[in-house]
Amino acid sequence: MKTLTAALSAAALLALAGCGGGGSGSADEGPVDLRMTIWSANAKHLALFDQIAAGYKKDHPEVGKITFEPIPFDSYTTTLTTQIGGGNVPDLAWIFESSAPDFVSSGALEPIDKDADLVPSTTANWEKDGKLYAYPFSTSPLGVFVNTDLVKAAGRPAPAEQIAAGTWTWDEAAKTAAAVQARGGKGGLVVGDFDYKGWDTLNAVWAGWGARPWSEDGKTCQFDQPAMADAMTFLHKLVFTDKGMPGPGVTKDFFAGDSGMILTQISRAALLEKAKFKWDLVPLPKGPAGDYSVVGQAGIGVFKRGKHADAAKQFLAYFTNAENSAKLAQFFPPPRKSQLNAATLGKANPLLKPAQLDSVVVQGIERGTIKPSHTGYAEIQQTVRASLDRLWKPDADVKAVLAGVCSKINPLLAK
């Protein structure tokens, strides 16, 4: 029975360690090492971050290592919370816009200084009680990339011409998409990262109908409202009747030249570097509710329970100051007024023409709305995904499915 006693005392010891809550918070004497979790594994991104970190260390001899720790995109929040739960709290972390309310409201983040240069619309998602809890380092408008070769071959006017003529609407975009797809083998319009699972990316479409998934205060579901029903009916028709959007389970990679248009973040322009087709970038088509634009965001926050919260705050301020922000702008559109002009952005995005930058990026960020978010987002996301699956069938009853979504998520929204 000796082992049993030993096991029990070990258990007790570990339980103590287990519920003590991680993060000792003691800033010891040694060099200050900082760690930032990120979801990009892109070598160019990492090289730039390392370069900025090296610049910082020159003036801050007390700082030892600054590591940027890439975590796979799909398991990012999961891994991050496991680390936090396990007591290994990173000093800084990238945060998805959809998890922003969870992180901001939990009190896990340290408030940071708000630069007056920041465009107000970009910080709204990251504030609570007038304090800013994360820096929105990437504010990337959504636009439509067009494979003009495919559109032309399908006998449709290029979207740029339609913009000039004032006829770039969702109905026209749907016609173009259907025409491209009808020629066989190619997809019409793809909504980036949607894949019939990430329904929240559809926000960039239904915002054109003035639809929202839930009310501004986040208390009531609005999937069953007429605007949403119209928008979803449009999408359902586009997929199953007009056949302008590759159906569920079908992949058509725009960047490989397999589809006519893709609605996605403009930063993906980088993937077109070696494209063998002619392409263009245009703003989102006009919806029944008029012109609109949507931006996708990501923030960087400092953890209160990290070992060196103060040092982390200082580093974040340096990492995102005007000078470095300009460098970061080549990958992540900046939230700063002073840098939101075609000239600055053009240097960083050589693939995009000034007109494209101005119409999509500058105006997009200034007017853009962001994707609605909510505390407990992951659970709501999953629940909506599960109920919406019934919509992606040819004979679906759109209104009934949407009403079903509401009955499922209303209890979650009320929490």
Partner 1 sequence: MTLLLEKPARAPAMTDKAPYWTMRRRDELAGWLMVAPQLAGIVAFVIVPLGLVVWYSLHEWNVLAGSFTFIGADNYAALADDQQLGPVLRATGLFSAGLVVLNLSLALFLAVLLNQKLRGTVVFRTLFFSPVVVTLVAWTIVWGFLLQDNGGVNAFLDVLGIDGPNWLRSGGTAMASVIVVQLFKNVGLNMVLFLAALQGVPAELYEAARIDGASAWARFRRVTVPLISPTILLTMILTIVGSLQVFAQIAVLTQGGPGTSTTVLVYYLYQQAFQFHHFGYGATLSLLLFLIVLVLTVVQWRMRRRWVFHEN
Partner 2 sequence: MKTRPGMSPRLKVLLYGVLLVCCVPFVFPIWWMATTSLKPLSEIFAFPPSPLPGSPTLDAYRQVFELQPFGRQYLNSLYIAAVVTLGTLAVSALAGYAFARIRFRGAGIVFMIVLTGLLVPNEVTIIPLYRMFDTLGLVDTHWPLILIPMLGAPSVLATFIMRQFFITLPAELEEAGRVDGLGRFGLFWRICLPLARPAVGAVAIFTFLHSWNLYLEPIVFLSSKSKFTIPQALTQYVDAYGGPMWNTQLAAATLSALPVLIIFVLAQRQFVEGLAQTGLKG
Binding residues (CB under 8 A) for partner 2: these are 3, 14, 17-18, 22, 37, 39-43, 45, 67, 69-75, 79, 82-83, 85-88, 185, 192-193, 251-253, 255-258, 265, 267-268, 271, 276, 331
Closer residue to partner 1 (CB): 197 or 399: 197
> What does 399 interact with, of partner 1, partner 2, none (CB < 5 to 8 A by kind)?
none
Q: Within its chain, how far is the Cα of 245 from the centroid?
A: 22
Please tell me the number of Cα atoms within 13 Å of 281 on its side-chain side.
26
- Find the part of the chain contacting partner 1 (CB under 8 A) among 7-15, 167-175, 332-340, 358-366: 7-15
HEC readout, 199-235: HHHHHHHHHHHCCCCECCCCCCECCCCHHHHHHHHHH
Question: Closest approach of Cβ 258 to partner 2, in Å?
Answer: 6
Q: Within its chain, how far is the Cα of 27 from the centroid?
A: 34
> What does 351 interact with, of partner 1, partner 2, none (CB < 5 to 8 A by kind)?
none
- Residue 387 found at the interface with partner 1 (CB under 8 A): yes
Beta-bridge mates of residue 141 = 295
Closer residue to partner 2 (CB): 15 or 355: 15
Length in residues, the chain? 415
Residue among 248, 257, 288, 346 that touches partner 1 (CB under 8 A)? 248
User: Could you tell me which residues come within 8 angstroms of residue 393 by beta carbon, excluding any fewer than 6 positions away?
Assistant: 240
- Strand (E) or helix (H) holding 132: strand 131-132
Question: Closest approach of Cβ 309 to partner 1, in Å?
Answer: 13
Residue 399 identity (one-letter amino acid): K
Beta-bridge mates of residue 282 = 144
Closer residue to partner 2 (CB): 210 or 257: 257
- Residue 78 found at the interface with partner 1 (CB under 8 A): yes
- Find the part of the chain contacting partner 1 (CB under 8 A) among 100-108, 138-146, 307-315, 347-355: 100-108
- Residue 7 found at the interface with partner 1 (CB under 8 A): yes
Site string for partner 1, 9-28 (x = CB under 8 A): -xx--xx--xx-xxx-----
Tokens, residue 93: 């972390």
Buried b (16+ CB within 10 A) or exposed e, 191-213: bbebebeebbbbbbbbbbbbbbb
> What does 265 interact with, of partner 2, partner 1, none (CB < 5 to 8 A by kind)?
partner 2
Reduced to 3 states, what is the DSSP secondary structure of residue 31?
coil
- Find the part of the chain contacting partner 1 (CB under 8 A) among 34-42, 123-131, 146-154, 382-390: 382-390
> What does 45 interact with, of partner 1, partner 2, none (CB < 5 to 8 A by kind)?
partner 2
Residue 295 and residue 366: Cα distance in Å, rounded?
10
Closer residue to partner 1 (CB): 325 or 387: 387
> What does 72 interact with, of partner 1, partner 2, none (CB < 5 to 8 A by kind)?
partner 2
Closer residue to partner 1 (CB): 225 or 259: 259
| Helix, strand, coil in percent for the chain, rounding step 5 | 50, 20, 35
Tokens, residue 113: 């200084």
Closer residue to partner 2 (CB): 156 or 252: 252
Neighbours of 317 (CB within 10 A): 16
Could you give the dihedral angle defined by the CA atoms of residues 314, 318, 322 and 327, in that order, rounded to the nearest 10 degrees? -150
> What does 379 interact with, of partner 1, partner 2, none (CB < 5 to 8 A by kind)?
partner 1
Neighbours of 318 (CB within 10 A): 16
User: Could you tell me which residues come within 8 angstroms of residue 350 by beta carbon, excluding any fewer than 6 positions away?
Assistant: none
- Residue 346 found at the interface with partner 1 (CB under 8 A): no
Instruction: Note whether 257 and 140 are within 8 A (CB).
Output: no
Closer residue to partner 1 (CB): 93 or 262: 93
| Interface positions with partner 1 (CB under 8 A) | 3, 6-7, 10-11, 14-15, 18-19, 21-23, 77-78, 81-82, 84-85, 102-103, 106-108, 196-197, 247-251, 305, 376, 378-379, 382, 385-387, 389-390, 392-393
